[in-house]
Amino acid sequence: GENVEQHPSTLSVQEGDSAVIKCTYSDSASNYFPWYKQELGKRPQLIIDIRSNVGEKKDQRIAVTLNKTAKHFSLHITETQPEDSAVYFCAARWAEGAQKLVFGQGTRLTINP
Amino acid sequence: DVKVTQSSRYLVKRTGEKVFLECVQDMDHENMFWYRQDPGLGLRLIYFSYDVKMKEKGDIPEGYSVSREKKERFSLILESASTNQTSMYLCASNLSGGTYEQYFGPGTRLTVT
């Protein structure tokens, strides 16, 4: 079945610097890759997603890149701010027509003032 | 605004008890999901449902069952709770044929003693 590996498990950056979180997936048929953010004590919420027919997508300070050949995708956060501190999860939709998502292990991002 | 609610935020049960966790969504979503969240393991899918009375096993269904008698409600049942089922349980829902975004509930932190 589908497997998603996420690295690093923890990441600490200075405010204003960039943060990058990487994920690899196993099923080459996967075609949808969302990123969820979970603030402390809150529910996960979608922050950005990308489909397999696109190589990059940006939304203000966040961007996601996808390399289908290597089967990996990354979340990039620029000009980090304290409110970016959270746990981030990547995921992959494992098959065409399916609603099931397989999640990575999560990355705890801490922004240091 | 999509709203997914869960019956309890915190629950403490004894080993061997039967435990019911309920999830309700108000957006007429066809698909509903139950995950458990453990540090370092991400979100793991327990069961999901595509329609009323339909259910499919996820990645870790052992020790759990589900019930979906009405479209808006999806229940997770622990037939005989064990200490290794101590975890955060998250419910989610989404629309078939939509954007694939899953909307999460606030979570239930279950402790089995």
Model confidence pLDDT, tens digit, residues B45-81: 999 999 998 999 999 999 999 999 999 999 999 999 9
Please state, in angstroms and rounded to a whole number, the distance separating the CA atoms of residues B49 and A71: 28
Q: Quote the pLDDT of residue B99.
A: 76
For residue A46, the distance in angstroms to the closest alpha carbon of chain B comes to 7
- Cα Rg of chain B (Å, integer): 13
Looking at residue A29, its pLDDT comes to 83
Q: How many whole angstroms separate alpha carbon B39 and alpha carbon B20? A: 23
CA-based max dimension of chain B: 42
Query: CA nearest A35 in B: which residue?
Result: B101
Q: What number is the average pLDDT over the span A82-107?
A: 89
Question: In which band, very low, low, confident or very high, does the pLDDT at A96 lie, cut at 50, 70 and 90?
Answer: low
Mean pLDDT, to the nearest integer, of B84-110?
93
Measured distance CA(B72)–CA(B57) in Å, rounded: 19
Percent of chain B with pLDDT over 90: 88
Q: Tell me how close the Cα of A94 comes to any Cα of chain B, in angstroms.
A: 12
**Which is nearest to A41 in space by CA: B61, B107, B35, B67?**
B107
Residue A95: pLDDT over 80: no
Q: How many CA atoms lie within 13 A of A61 on its CB side?
A: 12
SS3 B85: helix
Contact indicator for B47, B111 with CB cutoff of 8 Å: no
Question: Residue B42: which of A42, A89, A93 has the nearest Cβ?
Answer: A89
Nearest by CB to residue A104, choosing from B42, B50, B94, is: B42
A15-74: per-residue pLDDT in tens?
Answer: 999 999 999 999 888 889 999 999 999 999 999 999 988 899 999 999 999 999 999 999
Pairwise pLDDT comparison (A96 vs B53), residue with the higher score: B53
How much is the pLDDT for B2? 66
Q: Does A37 touch chain B (CB under 8 A)?
A: no
Is the model's pLDDT at B4 over the cut of 80?
Answer: yes
**The pLDDT of residue A30:** 87
Beta-carbon contacts below 8 Å between A and B: 51
